[in-house]
Structures are given as structure tokens and as C-alpha cells.
Structure 1
């Protein structure tokens, strides 16, 4: 499960990268680590309004849901939904056709197990610009949005730095994101593979990352571990 994201980009950089304006720019706050295990809002662009950056609660709830976020997340964690399995969720599957979105980030995190220890990797765009993660969203009874990040077993270059699962977020180049939002998108494996993906880099960071209450300014900087076969992905 991918339960932490990073967004260190400012409003102007995001608006310029995606040619879209924030609906409520003063609500946006950058953060080196966004922990989805507590209720968090993420910047999103939806199929319904591709020229506007809105906000959605991370952890998708059913369409027109009226109860609390915690209530549903205690039943099933929806920070991520696999593209390969969404068809098994009768409440979520219809949304992938009509309510796709992108989640705007500056990075996400993977984990690598080696010799009985787990090491965190920070994954980011090679030019340090904001990029898009494929998502699906719902509209709640009160009008707010909620979102899940779509993951997939599509082949990618990150397998070398993530050996605790096969699914990955679908990271889309910021000039290609409207293909994911297109009503004509072919949702087959071949159709998704035709969307140009972001060129990503990664490096190991401090294990303090795994402590949910510890966030400091340099936490995204490289950390070096003796004996770890892979320290970075260039």
C-alpha cells in the first residue's frame, strides 16, 4: 500500500505545470510528507473540470456517502485501488469510467526489504517538477470529493526499489495527464501503456520516515546505508 505522498511544489509551479488554476489557492499547503492514514486532502484535477485544481479527501468513499471518513476506512482502506481489481468493487467500478482524476504530487515513497530490514525510497520526477498520479474520485453527499490513487502491475523501472508488492501508482507526465482524463481513454493495459509516463528518479532516505510523528526539513534528502545493493534509481 502507498500511504504517504510528498508535495513540496508551490501554487504557481503547480498551476504552470498543469495549465490549471486552483479553485481555492489559499487552502493549499506544501508538505514534505502527507500521511494518508490520517484524514488528508490532496490537490486533484477531475474529468469534469480539467482546467481547475480542486481538493479531495484521500481515501475514496462511495458516491453520495453520508457518514464519516474514519468509519469507512476502518472497514476497507481505499488510499489505493488496483486497476486490476477495481472491477470486483461494485460501488467503485462504475466511477473508473466517468470519474477519473489526477492527484498532483512532487513525489511518493516505496519500500525495499534487504537482509531482514526495510529501507524507504523517495521517488520523484527527474526535473523535480510536480507530476500526476492516476486517480478515481467520488462526490460525497455534502459535495466534497474523495479520491483513491490507482495502482497497477504495469511494467516499470521501479521494481528494483520496491520488492514488497507488485502494484505501483501510475505516474503520468504533466503534459500527458489529459489523456487519463479523456472520456475516450482505453482502460485496457495497452491503452494505459500508451500514456507517456513521468521519468522518475529515486534515492534512499532516513528510516525516520517510518515514524509517523517525525517530519523535518531534510527528511527527503539522500541517506546512505552500508551493504544495501541499491541506493538510488537514476
Structure 2
């Protein structure tokens, strides 16, 4: 499960990167680590309004859901949903066809098990530019949005920095962002594989990352570990 993200870019950089405007720019706050295990909101761009950046609660809830976020998350964690399993969820599968979105981030995190210990990697685009992860969203009874990352085990290089799971987020460049939001997208495995095209970088960070309440100024800076093999995305 991918339960932490990073957003360190400011409003202007994000708007410029996606040619879209924040609906409520004053609500946006940068955060080196966003912990989805507590109720958090993420900037998103939806199919029905590709020129507007909105906010969605991370951890998707059923369409028109009326109860609390934490009550549903206690039953099933929906921070991520695998593209290979979503068709088993009657309440979520229609959203893949009709309510896809971009989740705007500056990075996400993976974990690598080596010699009995787990090491965190920070994954990001060159120059720490904002980029998008594939997602789906729902509209709740009160009008708010909720969102889940769509993950896949299809062709990718993340296995070299993440070996405790098979699925990974779908990171997209601008051209593939437009395809993900298109009403004409064909959701076959080959099409999804071709969408996952953004070239990313990664480095190990401090293992303090795994302590949920610890966030400090250089938390995203590289950390070296004696004996850990040199790993990369390639």
C-alpha cells in the first residue's frame, strides 16, 4: 500500500505545469510528507473540469456517501485500488470509466527489504517538478470529492526500489495526463501500460520516515546506508 505522498511545489508552479487554476488557491499548503492514514486532502484535476484544480479527500468513498471518512476506512482502506482488482468492487468500478482524475504530487515513497531491514525511497521527477498520478474520484452527498490512487503491476521499473509489493502508482507526463482524462480512453491492459511513461528519479531517505509523527526540514534529503546495494529505477 502507498500511504504517503509529498507536495512541495507552490501554487504557481503547479498551475503552470498543468495549465489549470486552483479553485481555492488559499487552501493549498505544501507538505513534505502527506500521511493518508489520517484524513488528508489532495489537489486533483477531474475529467469533467480539466482546467480546474480541486481538492479531494484521500481514501475514496462510495458515490453519494453520507457517513464519516474514518468509519469507511476502518472497513476497507481505499488510499490505493489496483487496476487488476477494481472490477471486483461494484461501487468503484464505474468510477474508473466515468470519473478518472489526476492526483498532483511532487513525489511518493517506496520501500525496499534488504537483509532483514526495510529502507524508504523518495521517488520524484527531475528538478522536483510537480507531476500526476492516475486516480479515480467520487462525489459525496455533501458535494466534497474523495479520491484513490490507481495502481498497477504492469511494466515498470519500480521493482528495483520496491520489493514488498507488486502494484505501483501510475505516474504520467503531460501527454498521458490528457489521455487519462479523455472520454475516449480504452482501459485495456496494453493501454494502461503505455500510459505509465514518466521517467522518475529516486534516492534513499532516513528511516525516521516510518515514524508517522516525525517530519523535519531535511526529511526528503538523501541518506546513505552501509551495505545497501546501489539501487535505481533503471
TM-score by length of 2: 0.98
Tell me what 2:179 maps to: 179
- Say whether residues 1:81 and 2:71 are aligned partners: no
Tell me what 1:192 maps to: 192
- Deviation string 1:76-132 (CA, Å, 9 cap, x unpaired) is 000000000000000000111000001000000000000100000000012321000
RMSD (Å) for aligned C-alpha atoms: 1.0
Please say if residues 107 and 122 of structure 1, whose CA atoms lie closer than 8 Å, have aligned partners that are also in contact: yes
Q: Distance in 1 between matches of 2:24 and 2:139?
A: 18
- Say whether residues 1:116 and 2:116 are aligned partners: yes
Offset, 1:230 = 2.7
Tell me what 2:220 maps to: 220
Tell me what 1:139 maps to: 139
Please say if residues 204 and 231 of structure 1, whose CA atoms lie closer than 8 Å, have aligned partners that are also in contact: no
Please say if residues 224 and 231 of structure 1, whose CA atoms lie closer than 8 Å, have aligned partners that are also in contact: no
Please say if residues 43 and 56 of structure 2, whose CA atoms lie closer than 8 Å, have aligned partners that are also in contact: yes
Tell me what 1:5 maps to: 5
* Structure 2 CA distance for partners of 1:190 and 1:233, relative to 1, 3 Å: closer
Please say if residues 225 and 231 of structure 1, whose CA atoms lie closer than 8 Å, have aligned partners that are also in contact: no
Please say if residues 132 and 171 of structure 2, whose CA atoms lie closer than 8 Å, have aligned partners that are also in contact: yes
Tell me what 1:203 maps to: 203
Offset, 1:196 = 5.7
- Say whether residues 1:99 and 2:110 are aligned partners: no
Please say if residues 160 and 232 of structure 2, whose CA atoms lie closer than 8 Å, have aligned partners that are also in contact: no
Please say if residues 160 and 231 of structure 2, whose CA atoms lie closer than 8 Å, have aligned partners that are also in contact: no
Runs of 4+ aligned structure 1 residues displaced above 6 Å come to none
- Deviation string 1:128-170 (CA, Å, 9 cap, x unpaired) is 2100000000000000000000000111111111000110000
Q: Count residues with an aligned counterpart.
A: 234
Q: Select between 102-111 and 182-191 the one with higher mean Cα deviation.
A: 182-191
Tell me what 1:71 maps to: 71
Tell me what 2:41 maps to: 41
Please say if residues 203 and 233 of structure 1, whose CA atoms lie closer than 8 Å, have aligned partners that are also in contact: no
Tell me what 2:14 maps to: 14
Q: Distance in 1 between matches of 2:155 and 2:214?
A: 33
Q: Distance in 1 between matches of 2:223 and 2:196?
A: 30
Offset, 1:206 = 0.1
Offset, 1:12 = 0.2
Q: Which runs of 5+ in 1 are unaligned?
A: none
Tell me what 1:57 maps to: 57
